[in-house]
Amino acid sequence: MEHHDVAAFRESYMGGGLHARDLAPDPLTQFGTWFTDAVGAGLTEPNAMVLSTVDADGRPSVRTVLLKGYGPDGFRFFTNHRSRKAQAIAADPRVALLFPWHPLRRQVIVEGTAEHLPREESAAYFATRPYGSQLGAWTSENQSAVITERAELERRYVELEELWPHEVPLPDFWGGYRVMPMRVEFWQGRPDRLHDRLRYRRAAPGEEGEWAIERLSP
Residues 182, 183, 184: CA angle, nearest 5 degrees: 130
**Distance (Å, rounded) from C-alpha 33 to C-alpha 200?**
15
Catalytic entry in 119, 155, 193, 215: 193
Active site residue 193: yes
Q: Which residues are catalytic?
A: 193
